[in-house]
Amino acid sequence: MPCRDAIRNLEGLKLASSNRDSAPGLDRADRWTEEPFGLVRLVIGTIALVWTLIAVALATTGADPRALQLVVALWAIYGLIVGFLSGVLEPVIDGLFRVASNVGIVRVGGGYSAIETLAARGHLQAAADAYAERARNKSQRVDATLRRAALLSRPLNQAETAAIELDNLRMGSPLRPRDDFRVGLALVEIYENDLKDPGRAMTELRRLIDRYPTAQGARRLRVALSSLKSERFGGGTAGS
């Protein structure tokens, strides 16, 4: 079904998990990231566009025929800046963030391997309880709660409990944009795939789109929202 494909396509937005040997069902607790330099690119692109319009006007009126050379130079500079941000600076910052996060997890809690072993051996409730205990630690609260929600929502058939806990996590204290995005996407998957509640899934998708319009993969969020609307209301409202 189209909306299922759209929801599955959101998987392409996920970053690698902080622990690669996660137990089955924990992939939905992977980290999500917003695009940190989206505003910078938008500002630079707007400046380049404005100067392009000015230069074209000058060249067209004959005031300065060389103005078109400025257009070429502006867009060349824009391409270099965007390439540096996207290809060099963003990967470096994201890599450093993951390293710092992993160091903190290993130092404070010794990683999640013991809990994942419990889950792999079928002790799912014990693993979920262990994640709840880890969530008491502020530095691990988001990751541990997401991992617990992944177990509750499908293997343990407690999807509503998982959704409530994720919502409480978000409402309890302000989250960083990166973590808020991760929690939001986890809720979308629970609402759509586990609770079969496209209404709440659409509401959460709309919240994410409105709050993070420049997030990496925002277009795919809009596609998923459009697909859910199309399935629920019919093709006539899909693009609204």
User: Could you please report the per-residue DSSP string of 16-61?
Assistant: PPSSTTPPTT-GGG------TTHHHHHHHHHHHHHHHHHHHHHHHH
Rounded Cα distance between 228 and 206, Å, is: 11
Q: Say what the pTM is.
A: 0.57
59 versus 124: which is more confidently predicted? 124
Q: What is the mean pLDDT of residues 102-106?
A: 46
Rounded Cα distance between 64 and 49, Å, is: 18
DSSP state of 240: -
Rounded Cα distance between 203 and 190, Å, is: 13
Most confident range (mean pLDDT) of 77-81, 135-139, 157-161, 209-213 is: 157-161
Listed in order, strand segments (DSSP E) in 92-137 are: none
pLDDT above 90: residue 194: yes
Task: With cut-offs at 50, 70 and 90, classify the pLDDT of residue 59.
Answer: confident
pLDDT above 70: residue 138: yes
pLDDT above 50: residue 239: no
The CATH code belonging to domain 2-237 is: 1.25.40
Burial 36-49 (b: 16+ CB within 10 A, else e): bbbeebeebeeebe
